[in-house]
Chains A and B, each alone.
Chain A
C-alpha cells in the first residue's frame, strides 16, 4: 500500500464524513449484512438521491479511467451515469431475491472504492429503526443547575416549560466536539428517527489524534466504539446506550491512559450536558433508575407523553380509560375502557405515539368474557385495579429486567411498623432480579393464575414507579437509593 502523501499531524478536528472504509473489510460486510434487503435498497436510494449524490458518489466508468485498472475481475461493471446506477437498484427492488445480492452489489459494485463513515452511520441508524430493542438504553434526566440565580422574589415569569433545553443540532455537535476533541477523536452523525419521536446522535470514537487513523479498518465497525445518544422530543430526558450507571461521578480513572473504550464512552457522556449548556443555563445529567432494551418503553416511562408519571394502577389515568369526553352522554361505566383509550385521536400527543405501530401490539390479557366463579371474578377486578390498563395501553412498556433491593428487617412484622431506626443497623438486604421479555406483564400473569395475591402485593410489582432498579422498604420505594 502506498504511503499517503499528506503530512499526518495530530489535529482536534472530528473525523471527516467522507473517510472511506475499504469495501473489502470483512466486518463491514457483517455490519451491513445485519440489515434486511429492503433496508439496504432504501439506503442505496438515499445515497443516490440528488441531494446526497455529492457525498456518496458511486463508482462510475469515469472513475475507472483515472484509477488503476486492477479491478477487471470484479463481477459488476461500473455504471456510466448515476441514472444507470439508480436503475440497477430499481430493478433489484422490483424483483425478489436474496439480501446477499444487494449487499454484494453495494460493496463490490457501486461503492467498491469504499463506504464512508457517514454511510455506515446511516446503516446503523436504519438498523436501530428496524430493531428498537437491539441495544440496552439508560434514561437520564437533564436538570438545570441554578447555582447563583438572581434574587427574584417575585413569582417567576409564566414560562413553565423552560426545563427542556432548546437544542440546535449543529451547535450542539460543535459544543460536543469542543468538549471531547482534546481527548478523543470522534465522528458524529445526527438524524431523526423515522419511526419514533427521537433524535439519534451516533458518536464513533477513536483514540488517535490523526485525521486518518492508521488502525486497521476493522476498528470502524467495532460496535463497542459507538455510542448512541437519543434525544426524545420535548422532554427533559436523554437516553444513552452506555451501560454504566454512574456517569458524572469523578471516578479516579485519570491515571489510566484513555485507550479502553469504556473510558472513551465515559468522556463522551460527561461532556453531553456541557455541550447542551449555555451561559447562565447549565445542565447536568441525573440517573433516573431506568434502563431497558426497548426504546418505546423508555419513551413511555421517561418520555413526553402522558404515561411518564402515572403507571401501574395509575395507568388508567394515563390512558384516560375510565371516563370519556364531557360531551359523551353515556355514563362512563357503560362504555368499555378500550373505547375511551382509543377515543381521542385528535390529541396531538397521542397522534405521534400511534405512529409507532405499538397499538398493534396490544395484548388482551385477562379480559376474556367466559363466566367465572365469584372468587376469580374478584381476583380479576383486583388485578384490574392494581395493574390498570397494562397490556391494553396504547404505549406498552415492557421492562426486560427489574432489580429490587428489599431493606425490610426479617423480624419486623407488620405490627412493629413504628420502629423507624432501620438505617444504621446491618440489614439483611434481599435482592431480587426479574428478567424476561416483559417483567410486569409476567407478574400480572402470575396474579391472574392466582400465584401472586393481587390485593396484597406491593406497588413496585405493578410497575407503578416506572423504574428498573430500585430500593424498597415496606413496600414503598426509597427515593435516594442506598
Chain B
C-alpha cells in the first residue's frame, strides 16, 4: 500500500501530463535535428496560466518547451480562445505589447482550421470623471474574414468613450452609430452612460460567429456529400453528375464565402434558395419553378424541426407526395 502511493504521483493529471511530456519531448528530439529552427522571429510567447506543477528535476530545455507546448495545446483545444502578448517590431509602435487573442475552431473533419487572431492595442487614457479606469482596449489588427464586422462587435463590446473615430477604415460606421445611440438618451445621462469594455463578451461573440460560419460551411458540405455531389478527392464533380434520385436535386451549393444562403437546383428546372441561421436551422426558403412559387417544398424545407442536416429527408419525393402536409 505504502509502496503504491509512493509510486503514484499526487494526481492522475500530472501523471498523464508527465507521459505526454515524455512523448512530446521524444518527438521533439527526433524532429529537432531534421528541421533547422528557421521560424520567424517574433514568436509570441505563450504565457497561458501555467498552473501545471512541472517536475522540478526535469530541466532539459527541450522537455520544458514541449511541456509548455502541450499545455497550451490543451488550453487551445478546451477553451478555444487563448491570449498571448505580442510586441510590434515597428520602431514607432508604443512600447506596451499588444494583447493577442487566438481563436481555434474545430471543423467537421476533426481538424482545426487555421487559428484566427485578434491583436488589441491597450491605450492609456487620461482618467476622466465618467470613466474610472484608464486602460482602453482597441482592435489593432485581426485575421477575421471580412463578412464578420469587427467594427460592429467592437462598437458594442469595446466602446471607446468619447473618442472621435480616428481608427479609420472600417470604424467610421461604428463610431457614428455610437453617437446616434447616445443622442436619444438624456444629455445629462449620456456622459455617465458609458458602457464598460467587455473583452470576454467580445471574444465570446466573435468566436460564436466564427464557429457558426464553420458549421454552416460544414453543413453544406455534409448535404453535398449526402447527395453524392462531392468527388473522391473532395473536389466538386463536373456539372453532369447524376442527380439525386430521392429528391431530384441536381445541385446544391452555398452562395459566396459566407454560406448564409444556399442555392438548390432541381432536375426539373426549379430553383430554390434557403437561409441558414447561426443555429443551423433553415430560416427561410424560396423555391421557384415554371409555374411560380412552390409553396409545398418551401414548407417542407422550413417545416419539421427545421434542421439543415435533415432537410434532404424532408425533401424526398415519396415523403412529399405521400403525406401532404395539412
Contact = CB atoms under 8 A, between A and B. Distances in A.
B129 interface: no
A331 B151 CA distance: 34
Given A158-B278, A331-B28, A367-B38, A310 B117 contact: yes
Contacts of B150: 309
Interface string A328-371: 11111111110000011011111010000000000000010100
B107 interface: yes
9 contacts: A149-B177, A233-B257, A235-B145, A305-B146, A337-B40, A348-B214, A349-B145, A382-B89, A459-B92
A160 B154 CA distance: 10
Given A330-B28, A330-B31, A316 B42 contact: yes
B226 to A, nearest CB: 18
Give 6 nearest A-B pairs by CB, closest first. A235-B146, A475-B92, A385-B41, A479-B168, A326-B76, A234-B257
Contacts of A381: 41
Contacts of A347: 107, 113-114
Contact of A234 (B104, B147, B177): B147
A121 interface: no
B192 interface: no
A163 B145 contact: no
A476 B278 CA distance: 39
B135 interface: no
B125 interface: no
Contacts of A306: 114, 116, 143-145
Interface string A150-175: 01110110101111100000000000
A335 B112 CA distance: 17
B70 A317 contact: no
A271 interface: no
Contacts of A346: 107, 109, 111, 113
Contact of B141 (A158, A309, A320): A309
A314 B147 contact: no
Interface string B77-96: 10000000000111111000
A334 B88 contact: no
B36 to A, nearest CB: 7
Most A C-beta atoms less than 10 A away, residue of B36, B93, B147, B151: B147
A306 B117 CA distance: 9
A44 interface: no
A237 interface: yes
B233 to A, nearest CB: 11
B106 to A, nearest CB: 9
Given A288-B169, A386-B89, 12 more contacts: A160-B153, A161-B209, A236-B147, A304-B257, A309-B141, A329-B70, A329-B73, A331-B66, A332-B39, A332-B43, A384-B41, A456-B91
A481 to B, nearest CB: 10
B166 interface: yes
B146 A234 contact: yes
Contact of B89 (A160, A288, A313): A313
B149 A160 contact: yes
B303 interface: no
Nearest to A353: B257
Contacts of B256: 197, 233-234
Interface in B139-188: 141-153, 156, 166-170, 172-173, 176-177, 180-181, 184-185
Interface in A441-482: 455-459, 462, 464, 474-476, 479-480
A124 interface: no
Interface stretch (A14-22, A138-146, A251-259): A138-146
A164 B147 contact: yes
Contacts of A320: 114-115, 117, 143
B77 A343 contact: no
B258 interface: yes
Interface of A: 141, 143-144, 146, 148-149, 151-153, 155-156, 158, 160-164, 197, 233-237, 286, 288, 303-310, 313-314, 316-318, 320-323, 325-337, 343-344, 346-350, 352, 367, 369, 381-382, 384-386, 388-389, 455-459, 462, 464, 474-476, 479-480
Contact of B258 (A158, A161, A288, A335): A161
Interface string B191-210: 00000000000000110110
Contacts of B24: 329, 331
Contact of B37 (A144, A307, A333): A333
B257 A352 contact: yes
B42 A235 contact: no
A318 B168 CA distance: 20
A457 B93 CA distance: 11
A310 B141 contact: yes
Contacts of A316: 40, 42
B152 A331 contact: no
B295 interface: no
Contacts of B91: 455-458, 475
B237 to A, nearest CB: 16
B19 interface: no
B229 to A, nearest CB: 16
Interface in B108-140: 109, 111-117, 119
Contacts of A328: 73
A162 B149 contact: yes
Contacts of A329: 23-24, 27, 66, 69-70, 73
A304 B112 CA distance: 20
A480 B112 CA distance: 39
B9 interface: no
A318 B173 contact: no
A330 B27 contact: yes
Nearest to A475: B92
Contacts of B7: none
B205 A369 contact: no
Nearest to B206: A160
A370 to B, nearest CB: 12
A479 B167 contact: yes
Most buried by B among A148, A155, A323, A336: A323
B44 interface: yes
Q: Which of A236, A317, A386, A457 has the most CB of B within 10 A?
A: A317
B217 interface: yes
A314 B141 contact: yes
Nearest to B193: A153
Contacts of B176: 146
B32 interface: yes
B260 interface: yes
Contacts of A233: 256-258
Contacts of B36: 369
Contacts of B184: 151, 153
